[in-house]
Amino acid sequence: MSGASDGAEANWILRHPQMKELQVGDSEQIHAAFLVYMDLTEVRRWKEVSCVKIPDLQAVLLEAQEKDGGPVYTVLPLPVHQSLSHRSIRQALDRGFPLLLCAVASDSTLVYQRMTDGLVTPVPPVGPFEDEGRRQRRKRRQQQR
Amino acid sequence: MEAELQPQEERSPAPVVGLSLCDSAPLLWRLQDLKAVRSEGLVGALLGSLPRTPRQNVRLGRPLLLLPEEERLLGERGGAAALPAQNQEAAGGELQQRYTEEQQRSFEEQSVLALEDRKSALVRAMTSSSGSDPASDEALQHRLLDLEQNFSFPRSALAVQLSTARAGLSHCPEARAFLEADWPIRAQRCPRREARFQVFRDLRGRGFFLTSAGKFGGDFLVYPGDPLRFHAHFIAICLALDESVCLLDVLCAARLGSNVKKTVLLCSPAPDGPVRYTSLQWSGMV
């Protein structure tokens, strides 16, 4: 919408207690981090969500658990038009937890991708698999001709 | 790598394969070369048309095209040498001469057999119609003689055999070829290629089979074993550690990977040794 409401919106966000602490680096990235923070805490209700400043990356990471006592994730929020390097991903992974990369679109849509160190075998497709019978196959071949 | 492949069998050194270069594409034509290369875990891509099933490309035949990484890996191990380019006209002329000679030989043989055939048909016809009596015998002999003198086997009746197995494809004798072989100097060292090769070598060293992943928007498809037996597990994307990549591209790759049930693997060779791998998967968070 118009600039006025945007301005008010931005001010509101800046007045949030969490946001006040995070004054490192890129304001866009901080905005993205804030949106992800709100999503994790209010919408998904994850536990122990905290913010971590990483000066090397000029970014704010979040650390959170899905449930109490569950595995800890590092979350890297980034505006979707930005770019990143494999090195920065490795730096985030070096914290020792699996990484959730969160892409924040201009309309505040959030997409989470999971990143892990090493080679993770994918989940195989689920059975049961039905082999098609001969009649089905013949029908298909005729259709293709 | 030895540990993963039949440790109890005695491993003789891998044979050296002969590469034919078509422009800059490394091709393998000989069957024993293809077998040797596959047994080392290099898959390549078949390009040729099969003579009995030409109008399809589900199953292709020789030659085998090697990836640049595969060629380079073979080169590093001293496992391949470039065969000298054949002199086209000389080879053509020789083949043609051989062909005409063979045709001539076949023609002569077939003429003789055709004549025999005709004679025995004549004899059958004449002895069946009349009983054996000296007059008809003599007539028969007369006719047979006539036949022999006047018979000519028309060229158009010649039966020609076409071999569907590619004849004449074997190169000049092995020993001579390798003595003449030299390595082509075509190295193009750009950073992206270097990264690809480091990743290829590392993954191959761990026992994975790799093929080209153009269909999936990546650099390599990584199989846990021979591609004839397994589906690929990973789509490998090779990039330098400091290379800047757009986040949208990462999302693209991840989405595609999850659609085809493969993990996207970001691979970067590190200056201090091991290649770094990061697996990219759908988070499951809608």
User: What pLDDT does B187 receive?
Assistant: 56
C-alpha B5/C-alpha B1 separation (Å) is 7
Local structure of residue B225 (DSSP, 8 states)? S
User: What pLDDT does B176 receive?
Assistant: 41
A81 pLDDT above the threshold of 80: yes
**Does any domain span residue A126?**
no
Torsional class of A28: left (φ above 0), alpha (ψ -120 to 50), beta (otherwise)? alpha
CB-based contact A122 B280, cutoff 8 Å: no
**Does any domain span residue A130?**
no
**Does any domain span residue A46?**
yes
Domain count, chain A: 1
User: What pLDDT does A25 receive?
Assistant: 63
Map residue B44 onto helix, strand or coil. Answer: coil
Spell out, as residue ranges, where chain B has pLDDT lower than 70.
1-14, 84-92, 130-132, 163-189
B262 assigned to active site: yes
* Range list of H helices, chain A: 3-14, 17-21, 27-38, 86-93, 134-144
CATH number for the domain that contains residue A20: 3.40.1350.10
| pTM summary value | 0.69
**Does any domain span residue A128?**
no
**Does any domain span residue A145?**
no
What is the mean predicted confidence (pLDDT) over A137-145?
Answer: 76
Interface ipTM above 0.85: no
**Does any domain span residue A68?**
yes
Catalytic residue selected from B35, B142, B215, B231: B231
A98 pLDDT above the threshold of 70: yes
Local structure of residue A40 (DSSP, 8 states)? I
C-alpha B164/C-alpha B61 separation (Å) is 12
Average pLDDT of every residue of chain A: 82
A137 pLDDT above the threshold of 90: no
CB-based contact A118 B233, cutoff 8 Å: no
Residue A112 in contact with partner chain B when CB distance is under 8 A? yes
**Nearest Cβ partner of B279 from A81, A84, A120?**
A120
Domain enclosing residue A33, as ranges: 13-115
What is the mean predicted confidence (pLDDT) over A26-51?
Answer: 89
C-alpha B219/C-alpha B267 separation (Å) is 10
**Does any domain span residue A72?**
yes
**Does any domain span residue A42?**
yes
User: What pLDDT does B160 receive?
Assistant: 85
Handedness of CA B206, B210, B213, B219 (dihedral sign): positive
Residue A30: CA count within 13 A, CB half-sphere: 18
A129 pLDDT above the threshold of 50: yes
- A62: part of which helix (H) or strand (E)? strand A59-65
B35 assigned to active site: no
User: What pLDDT does B189 receive?
Assistant: 64
**pLDDT tens readout for residues B190-224:** 778 888 999 999 999 999 999 998 888 899 999 99
